[in-house]
């Protein structure tokens, strides 16, 4: 019985191309007690592999977090199966704003300690005491209120290419880092301000809203379904779009365009740009923003050193990597010192105009 992916990304891409079918990219999550995550994981893999589902799904005793794609003509089969699982019946499926048949090229269903790496001890607070969920229309009203503090719960490389107007965008590498920063910077406003949060699809706000209520914030709100659902609602309801730029996504697309604004710059030359790339040097793979001109000049690499290595024959590159392990740059997400135009997002709260003297 097959319980793991056996095809390479290249082999899978060829099969998708040959099939000639449109695929849907979507995501969902659910915090729920799962008694046997490994058994549940294996059951999902067997069924979803038969449905030609591809993606990255995390399962833990606290729930499930799925980002995936599947043939559009098999969506009803997939939905029927989802509805047979009692805690997933009727769950909202966030369909991607922009579709790409190659958004995922492998099916990875993994058992983890948590479905989001939040670093929190859930036993110390009530994770079910969450903030108020609001849709796009109410969200637009709230963020125009002078008593609202709007906070982006994503990481720096996500908010750099797109965020809501006037949002606080913490300069952090991880979700966990942002929690303490936000609490400290807003500690004087736990009762007199409305704390409104958003993220990509809503999952990070689920835990963060409960955490901040535990920390004493009285008026906590979260954008239902995150940026993905917000975009769908503003189109369906003909509402004003208050998101500028692109929404970063964790698949081969890397981003969805929400507005035509380009708010970031190429990390190498400083020109307006908002397309992320991974350095082509297999020993680096740093994620950074690169314009088309630099992409051509640098051969998809982040530095001249990586460019020189990438130009070597494959066997020579392989020999250089032997025993070295992965470069830590792959975890830096654009923070390398040799990228002169990496946007500095520090002192982000200065633009918020929150009067901390009150």
- What b/e sequence results for 238-253 when a residue is b if at least 16 CB atoms lie within 10 Å of its CB, and e otherwise? eeeebbbbbbbbebeb
Whole-number Å distance between alpha carbons of 337 and 334: 9
Q: Which two tokens stand for residue 185?
A: 């910077």
For 76, the enclosing helix (H) or strand (E) is: helix 75-84
Nearest to 151 by CA among 204, 188, 115, 191: 204
264 contact partners, CB below 8 Å, separation of at least 6: 160, 161, 245, 272, 273, 274, 289, 343
Q: Which two tokens stand for residue 102?
A: 């190659």
Q: What 3 state SS string does 220-265 have?
A: EEEECCHHHHHHHHHHHCCCCCCEEEEEECCCCCCEEECCCCCCCE
Which residues pair with residue 246 across a beta bridge?
257
Q: Which residues are catalytically annotated? A: 199
Q: Largest Cα–Cα distance in the chain?
A: 64
How far is the CA of 227 from the CAs of 76, 157, 205, 311, in angstroms?
24, 16, 12, 39
Q: Which two tokens stand for residue 338?
A: 């040799």
The H-assigned helical ranges of the chain are 9-19, 37-50, 75-84, 136-142, 156-159, 175-185, 203-214, 226-236, 292-297, 304-310, 314-321
Does residue 55 sit in helix, strand or coil?
strand
């Amino acid at each position: 019985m097959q319980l793991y992916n056996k095809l390479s990304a290249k082999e899978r891409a060829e099969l998708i191309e040959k099939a000639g079918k449109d695929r849907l990219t979507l995501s969902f999550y659910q915090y729920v007690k799962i008694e046997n995550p490994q058994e549940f994981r294996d059951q999902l893999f067997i069924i979803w592999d038969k449905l030609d589902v591809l993606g990255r799904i995390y399962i833990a005793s606290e729930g499930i977090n799925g980002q995936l794609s599947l043939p559009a003509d098999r969506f009803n089969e997939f939905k029927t199966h989802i509805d047979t699982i009692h805690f997933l019946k009727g769950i909202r499926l966030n369909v991607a704003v922009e579709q790409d048949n190659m958004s995922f090229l492998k099916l990875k269903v993994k058992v983890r300690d948590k479905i989001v790496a939040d670093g929190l001890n859930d036993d110390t607070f009530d994770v079910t005491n969450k903030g108020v969920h609001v849709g796009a229309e109410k969200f637009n009203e709230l963020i125009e209120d002078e008593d609202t503090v709007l906070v982006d719960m994503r990481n720096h490389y996500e908010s750099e290419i797109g965020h809501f107007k006037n949002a606080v965008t913490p300069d952090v590498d991880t979700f966990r880092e942002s929690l303490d920063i936000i609490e400290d910077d807003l500690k004087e406003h736990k009762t007199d301000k409305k704390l409104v949060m958003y993220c990509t699809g809503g999952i990070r706000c689920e835990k963060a809203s409960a955490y901040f209520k535990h920390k004493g914030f009285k008026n906590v709100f979260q954008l239902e379904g995150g940026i993905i659902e917000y975009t769908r609602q503003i189109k369906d309801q003909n509402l004003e779009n208050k998101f500028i730029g692109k929404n970063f996504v964790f698949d081969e697309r890397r981003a969805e365009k929400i507005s035509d604004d380009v708010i970031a710059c190429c990390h190498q030359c400083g020109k307006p740009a908002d397309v992320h790339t991974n350095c082509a040097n297999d020993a680096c793979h740093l994620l950074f923003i690169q314009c088309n001109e630099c992409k051509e000049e640098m051969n998809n690499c982040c530095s001249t050193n990586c460019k020189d290595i990438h130009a070597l024959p494959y066997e020579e590159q392989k020999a250089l990597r032997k025993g070295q392990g992965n470069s830590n740059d792959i975890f830096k997400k654009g923070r390398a010192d040799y990228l002169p135009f990496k946007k500095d997002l520090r002192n982000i709260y200065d633009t918020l105009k929150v009067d901390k003297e009150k």
